[in-house]
Amino acid sequence: MVTPPVIVTRAEPGASETVERLRAMGLTAISSPMLELKSLDLPMPDLSGIYHLVFTSANGVRYFVDAVGGINEQVADLTAWCVGPATTVAAKAAGFQRIVAGDGNANDLSDLILSSDGVEDGFLHIANSAAAGNLVARLTEAGRKARFLALYETVPASGLDEEVKAALVSDAATLILFHSAKAAEAFANLTKGLPMDTNVVVAISGAATAPLESLNARAVVAAARPNEDALMEAVLLACKGL
């Protein structure tokens, strides 16, 4: 199996976690976050009428816990609905006691909520400022009481470092790993004009590959499920195809 370098475009702190995982798999990983996360200057979250917290990323868990100053008695009594394995791990590490683990994307999580019997109303979706809308809209359209809270924003990277540029223009294949459509969009904007015909895109979902269609990469591989485990499997599949 060919083991090309893998450029990790995920934002920190997740980028370092993914780099460590790839290196443990025997791969060369290069961290190049395409997004920077920045906390929004907001007052203490209003949890009145809220019985459920909905997290569509591990970062949402981290920023929420920071915003409320840790898992206090009020927060500990709330149910944390988590989009996938990584978010579930973050919720457990933060100290949440009532966790419902999903294994898909935001739409799958809203379906899980709506299909669950005996669940009282009062949902708060915590995410970044660009994620407002769909999940809460689906819940409210189904008659559930739900609102959205943005605790942080994502800022696109301003450039690529020389190590990344060298890997991208090399005659040998390089894998480029994407955890989100936002990171893919930022990467596409920064690499306009660079040759991509030897490189392979590996993304966490089909939606994350959409901004990369103009790159004319050698191949595009999407994970079978939108989570980190499936993404690592997709990396190995891409390596076997070289």
What per-residue confidence (pLDDT) applies to 210?
Answer: 92
> If we measure between CA atoms, which residue out of 180, 105, 106 comes closest to residue 138?
106
Pairing of the two strands 35-39 and 146-156:
antiparallel
**How much is the average pLDDT of 122-134?**
88
Residues 6+ apart with CB under 8 A from 187: 9, 34, 176, 178, 211, 212
Question: What is the distance between the alpha carbons of residues 132 and 204, in angstroms, rounded to a whole number?
Answer: 20
Residues 239, 3 contacting (CB under 8 angstroms): yes
Residue 60, domain member (yes or no) = yes
Residue 146, domain member (yes or no) = yes
The answer on pLDDT for 113 being more than 90 is: yes
> If we measure between CA atoms, which residue out of 48, 204, 56 comes closest to residue 130?
56
Residue type at position 107: N
Segment 11-51, tens digit of pLDDT: 999 999 999 999 999 999 999 999 999 999 999 999 999 99
Local confidence band at 182 (pLDDT 50, 70, 90 cut-offs) = very high
Residues 14, 38 contacting (CB under 8 angstroms): no
The answer on pLDDT for 134 being more than 90 is: no
Chain CA centroid to CA 228, Å: 9
Residue 233, domain member (yes or no) = no
Residue 221, domain member (yes or no) = no
Look up the CATH number of the domain holding residue 82: 3.40.50.10090
Percent over 70 (pLDDT), the chain: 99
Q: Are residues 107 and 196 in the same domain?
A: no
Segment 136-180, tens digit of pLDDT: 999 999 999 999 999 999 999 999 999 999 999 998 999 999 999
Number of structural domains, the chain? 2
Q: Are residues 132 and 179 in the same domain?
A: no
- What is the domain range of residue 150? 46-154
Residue 22, domain member (yes or no) = no
> If we measure between CA atoms, which residue out of 220, 162, 222, 166 comes closest to residue 195?
166
Q: Are residues 144 and 85 in the same domain?
A: yes
What per-residue confidence (pLDDT) applies to 117?
Answer: 86
Domain boundary among 112, 136, 154: 154
**How much is the average pLDDT of 190-195?**
91
Q: Are residues 70 and 98 in the same domain?
A: yes
What per-residue confidence (pLDDT) applies to 141?
Answer: 95
Using alpha carbons only, what angle is made at residue 98 by residues 106 and 93, rounded to the nearest 5 degrees?
A: 80
